[in-house]
Structures are given as C-alpha cells and as structure tokens.
Amino acid sequence: MAHLFVKDIKPGSNINDIYLVTQPVLRPTTKGDLYIAMYLSDRTGKVNCRMWQATESLYQQIPSEGFIQIRGKSELYQNALQIVVNDIQVVSQDKVNLADYMARTEKDVPQMYARLKEILGRIVHPQLKALVDSFLYNKDLMILFCNAPAAMQMHHNFLGGLLEHTLNMMEVAEAIFPLYPKIQKDLVRAAVFLHDIAKTKELSYKAAISYTDTGQLLGHIVLGTQMVSLAADKLAAAGKPVDAAVLDSLLHIMITHHGAYEFGSPKLPATPEAFMVSYIDNLDAKMNQTTTLIENDSSEGNWTAYQKSLETKLYRTRALEQ
C-alpha cells in the first residue's frame, strides 16, 4: 500500500501508516490523566500528534527519533492539522523506504559541487586559496558537506540543502560583484563556502534532522570558527601561515553572518564583505523558506496560516498567472 504523505492528509481522514516520530513527550492533562505529544513527519512535512489515555510503559517504548506505525484520525485543532492516535507500533528502520521520510534536494548534487569548485577556483589570494583547499580536499568532510541539510527547520532542511544553499549564495555573490568593485571578492568567496561548514557537525541526519550534542552545546558558528582556526594552524605548522588580518577578516564574516544578536551572531557585521555575506545568506534563506511554506501550507484561501518565524501570513496567489 502506498504511503500516505503528510501533505496529502486531510482533516477527518482515518490513518493507518508509518511515520517518523520525533520529540515525544509524556504530559498530564488538567484532570491528571497522561497523554503523549509528539511530531510525525515524512519528507513532505511535519504534523502535531496526540495520544490520549497513555501510559508510562507505552511512552517508554516510543523512540525519541524513529519510526512508528500509527492508527488514528486527523482533525483540525486551532485551525491546524493534528493527528489523534489510538494505537502505536514501533517499526524498525530497515522496514521503511527512507526516501519517503528524508527530503532530498531536487538538484543534481555532483553538478552543484562541480560548479561550487569552479567558482572557488577563482580565488587568487594564495593564503585564502590554501585555506579553502584544505577543506575541499578533505574527502570525508566533502561527502558530509554534499549530503547535509542547511538547517533543522528554517530553510533548506533537506539532504543536500547545505550544498544547495551555499551554491545559491555563491551564485548571487558572483552576480553582484560587478556592482560593488571595492568588495574583496576572495574573502566573500571563502566566507560563503565556510560560513555554514560546521552544519556537518551541528546536525545529525541519519533518519531525521536533529541536533548533535556538540551542535546543541556549541552551534555551527562556534564550531565553524574552530574548524577554520584549526585549518589555519595546520597551514602555519606546514610553513604556510595565513596572515592574522586575513584570518580575522574571514572569521569576522563567519561569526556575523546571522546579522543580529537575536539571531545568534556574537558580533555584528563591521566590514562590507560581512554585510554582503549576511544579506545574501538571509536572502537565500527567506526565498527558500517562503516558497516552501506556500507550497506546503494546508490552509485554504489566498493566505497561509500565520508564520511565526516570519511574523506574517504569506499571500499565495500568483498575480501574473491569474
């Protein structure tokens, strides 16, 4: 029987299918009974799920991240879809087709990676070139880089998303360089490539996208600066040091690319290159986020549901196609 994807679930549907479960929590109701709150997902989306009249022993059987077969019914709650489950059975990962549950980039990964290397090949500054090459020629790291998502939820949250996001940013930078001739292009190229390199350590994506313990504790900005600093130390030990001013400028772009303290940047952009990378990063993230939300939102009418991360609803009508 074909899998019923989350995006195709309508309110009032009877459901008997396998989904990826994440973040199960055992909670008491106002009357003191126990219920389980969790998320169910596949490659098309995520939905809230509740199981009433639960028990501690049943809760202990549910993996914190794994597959379960559920029997239940979908409903609208506060204008959002949720599933009320009557029965749960844990399913082994080898019994499912992971392609149904892990979203993957629709673009050609080898082609994207080849294009990324082509653009990085334009770097002429010898120290930045050596630093970038130390990452590019780390085969194991590049395998992770080409498969990693760019985020857990916000944007490009699918396998290959990190590569797609990085290449998109690189293409935007190359397109606008002629408009800003005073920009230090090699700094921007290196920083775009390395700004999210530590997503390979921050995120786990074997069955679902989640944070590693290291990622949760440190985050990709700190981890990324560690990776670049370590690479620079190795070059220095090999007699090929990176000038302090060059390294500081690169690390500054990396630690400021979120653009604001409230978004996790320990410092604010203070160079033209840092502003450029921060704005390009935000542009590509927002374009992916908004188009994905419009495509996947299940609300009826011309507007999506309110999107907390964007602080607005999204207008989904395409004016030029009416």
213-253 tens-digit pLDDT: 888 899 899 999 999 999 999 999 999 999 999 999 999 99
Q: Give the mean pLDDT of 110-115.
A: 95
17 neighbors 4 (Cβ within 8 angstroms) = yes
| Percent with pLDDT over 70 in the chain | 96
* Range from 27-36, 105-114, 232-241, 306-315 carrying the lowest mean pLDDT: 306-315
Position 304 confidence tier, pLDDT thresholds 50, 70, 90 = confident
254 neighbors 228 (Cβ within 8 angstroms) = yes
Position 205 confidence tier, pLDDT thresholds 50, 70, 90 = confident
Looking at per-residue pLDDT, the higher value among 38 and 95 belongs to: 38
Domains of the chain: 6-99 (2.40.50.140), 103-293 (1.10.3210)
Q: Is the pLDDT confidence value at 322 over 70?
A: no
Sign of CA dihedral 193, 194, 196, 201: positive
DSSP state of 47: E
Q: Give the mean pLDDT of 264-273.
A: 94
DSSP state of 23: E
Q: Mean pLDDT across the chain, nearest whole number?
A: 89
How far apart are the C-alpha atoms of 280 and 28, rounded to whole Å?
45
Q: What is the DSSP string of 68-134?
A: EEEEEEEEEETTEEEEEEEEEEEE-GGGS-GGGTS-B-SS-HHHHHHHHHHHHTT---HHHHHHHHH
